[in-house]
Amino acid sequence: MVKPKIAPSMLSSDFANLASEAERMIRCGADWLHMDIMDGHFVPNLTIGAPVIESLRKHTEAYLDCHLMVTNPLDYVEPLGKAGASGFTFHVEVSKDNWRELVQKIKSKGMKPGVSVRPGTPIEEVYPLLDDENPVEMVLVMTVEPGFGGQKFMPEMMDKVHALRKKYPSLDIEVDGGLGPSTIDLAAAAGANCIVAGSSVFGAPDPAHVISLMRKSVENAQTN
């Protein structure tokens, strides 16, 4: 069984108080902190980069799960490695020609490599990256279009999660987009174990309760 990991999306936090928001999430039981890095090109929005990761790293020892929604992920490997990122997840859509080099560089900087797929991308596109002799260590299935928070969960994406779990029983499978108390059971039943949640955690009166609920859902799905 793969360990449940609940990763609040810091995109939904108060950016003016990022360090205290990170501390609050860890106190509430978060396993990882999910950091959305967007370049304004691969997706329309522009968010954070290595300087913010470096600043946050001074205030937390938490696993910083970085999701790169960028056109040229190779350009970000060295700066994010220096900044203290823990995980580096790039998009398969922009890495078809250089993913081997990318995975090697990510690992050489001490980060965990992951690959992400947009809703319109067939899950089969990530299989070569998992079957390689130097594979990625996580797959992130986007359950919304990347680039914006607060979107509605796409349940049809769970077919991708189910296919991955069947083929790779010990893989870390992450889902991101529209996850919360009303959708977690679908994701957990499909086989997701890493859960990214933004507004459903940060907008909750009791974030610790939501994090606990999501973890229990993953645990229950694994034992049933």
Digits of tens for pLDDT over the chain (224 positions)?
A: 899 999 999 999 999 999 999 999 999 999 999 999 999 999 999 999 999 999 999 999 999 999 999 999 999 999 999 999 999 999 999 998 999 999 999 999 999 999 999 999 999 999 999 999 999 999 999 999 988 777 889 999 999 999 999 999 999 999 999 999 999 999 999 999 999 999 999 999 999 999 999 999 999 999 98
Give the catalytic positions in this structure: 36, 176
Whether residue 110 is annotated as binding a ligand: the answer is no
Predicted local confidence at residue 1, as pLDDT: 81
Phi-psi map region of 183: left, alpha, beta (phi>0 left; psi -120 to 50 alpha) = alpha
Residue 52: Cβ-neighbour burial (10 angstroms; 0-12, 13-18, 19+): middle
Architecture in CATH of 5-223: Alpha-Beta Barrel (3.20)
Q: Write down the pTM of the prediction.
A: 0.97
Q: What pLDDT sits at residue 9?
A: 97
Instruction: Report the 10 Å Cβ neighbour count for 156.
Output: 9
The answer to whether 9 is annotated as binding is: yes
The answer to whether 148 is annotated as binding is: yes
| pLDDT (0 to 100) of residue 157 | 98
The verdict on whether residue 120 carries a ligand-binding annotation is: no
Q: Is 34 annotated as a binding residue?
A: yes
**CA–CA separation, 154 and 174 (whole Å):** 14
